[in-house]
Chains A and B, each alone.
Chain A
């Protein structure tokens, strides 16, 4: 029963990953040198940068695990893991392609109609195509199956009416994968009746209203649908059965290195300000943080190894996200504490303080986006047989 909860095999990245890592690092170095981005400058917003995406695409690194017939490279999940973690570790501007690469593309591959696959997957791979995720609504966040935005059958397609909210990057996206109600829930199963669609964001009847977050940025949005038409071919999978399709997507969404590396720079900068000979609390604190991060990373690598073998480690993915997001949420506060006795004047300290402020301010979202701590604990409890 509970054995699988603890299935975290100590797999290592195969040698081809080292080669790729070298290439990705060289590429990052060139991009930083060319001024594309500054890893320490947190004022660059959501790091949405299409020209950068085009250059990553030219390397073959978007959709790199996908079939060759769509333009993919059929490389392993572990190689994708390496590419992702190297970009994350330096906060590279992956905003325009990350969502499509991580989950929208794979979802389309699994459930999309062939015509749609041919239309969209090559465009993602080329770095030309940005996706957003339309799940949450004003009246349903954690309770995803409470979604009420309707898709009503009409000639040749569906008319969509309702409102999605917290849609990250909707204002920059070409497409959304949206979850809409095509039938009322049944008495036996309230999860029934929801259907996934690919929606072109340029469709008439879609209005995007910015929602400014507490860092002062326009990242997420309210997306209002008024009789927005979506053709039949954009239905994904079996109408009404989206709840069965969501689970494998979650394993991809939850287990990646982005779930504990979003504020990795804090740890690096902490080590920098503490210097070569930290005080006892500094070294103990850093030692614990490094041990915890190493453990998270090893867990994440094992989950990705399982994905590479075609398994669906949904439960293990939830464990990684749960531990990972709690860890990175606590990181700024712990770093602040450990640096408390460092001389505040040197320039190192000023840049540390600057990134620390930013990380402290964004920390609350880490355990909300992509499923809250409470929801994840519920999923894990179900895995333990308690629900």
Chain B
């Protein structure tokens, strides 16, 4: 860890503290906070953490990008930062220079497939694309026959049906039919690689959000009084919060391990990467569900209000565990892989990590 760049994390934390304070955003009557927040992120270079400096990015490395996402999760950041990071990562794989402004990526669901025809036009649609309609550009993985390409698309060229996810953050269906990409290049990447990276990103954000959910729950338990004492003095409350801490710890370890595997690994293929990334998404998704429930229980009614910030974290925990594959989806995939390898291959794989 010591060789990691704390300046990047510190910068991210400072920007979020100043411009993305959960209570301030919660009280805001409109979206006027959004512009200054995005501008600060862009000016600091954080939005292009995963793009090398040769092509205009921050050149900071995979680990730093994940660290930024963890901090973003800990503030429940409601702008397309992870999406822009992922888009930058994708575009760089194809040697495409990143445009300015927020981007998103597609497909988010494993099921959706985008094709490129002989004239270079796209077909297919992607559902539940995060922040669709809020970004000027979309980076996509599309196929010309079997050959994967990365394309940069202007959002204005697509038909977008906007909606909201469970956290009320924007998401939408993007219909790419007939769209001519701004750029389109073959790339050594697959739609599954985007699933993997997206899953690792969401797992990391979940770990960050759980840390905050834990902290505010503990703080609340130390302040709120009932029966003449702090509720944190009741053993039942203490044990619930201990379990929340254990879940947050598991999420931290699982996502941290996947982050390290990606940062120091050689591509996303193979059983070891599947174990790392699937485990992170599964375990963080489970921790999200259990952790959110405990955090709410500890808060009583106040946590169930619009006014309190807790929902900013718990609703995003629920949203993020769904995106880029739920626990169940990854578990079936991981379980099938383990079954296919056979019982006696299980321990050697676990021990190799």
Contact = CB atoms under 8 A, between A and B. Distances in A.
Interface of A: 1-2, 5-6, 8-10, 12, 21, 82, 85-86, 89, 264, 267-269, 271-272, 274-278, 280, 282-288, 290-299, 302, 316, 319, 322-323, 374, 376-378, 380-381, 383-387
Contact of B250 (A2, A284, A295): A295
A276 B341 CA distance: 7
B107 interface: no
Interface centre among A297, A376, A377 (most CB of B within 10 A): A377
Contacts of B335: 278, 282-288, 290
B269 interface: no
B77 interface: no
B339 A85 contact: no
B275 interface: yes
Nearest to B333: A287
B331 to A, nearest CB: 3
**Looking at chain A's contact residues, is the secondary structure mostly helix, strand, loop, or mixed?**
helix
A283 B332 contact: yes
Nearest to A21: B351
Contact of A290 (B215, B338, B351): B338
B333 to A, nearest CB: 7
Contact of B342 (A271, A286, A295, A383): A271
B23 interface: no
B340 A86 contact: no
B117 to A, nearest CB: 36
B294 to A, nearest CB: 12
Contacts of A1: 218
A295 B254 contact: yes
**Shortest beta-carbon contacts, A-B, top 10:** A287-B331, A287-B335, A283-B335, A381-B238, A286-B335, A272-B343, A287-B334, A291-B282, A10-B260, A291-B279
A8 B351 contact: no
Interface centre among A1, A6, A8, A296 (most CB of B within 10 A): A6
Contact of A386 (B238, B248, B283): B238
Interface stretch (B85-93, B146-154, B239-247, B313-321): B239-247
Interface centre among B237, B249, B256 (most CB of A within 10 A): B249
A295 B253 CA distance: 7
B242 A10 contact: no
Contacts of B338: 271, 286-287, 290
Contacts of B256: 8-10, 298
A181 to B, nearest CB: 27
Given A290-B346, A291-B279, A381-B238, A323 B246 contact: yes
24 contacts: A8-B252, A10-B253, A12-B353, A85-B351, A267-B346, A269-B343, A276-B342, A284-B335, A286-B334, A287-B331, A287-B335, A290-B350, A294-B350, A295-B254, A295-B257, A298-B254, A319-B246, A322-B242, A377-B238, A380-B246, A384-B241, A385-B218, A386-B233, A386-B241
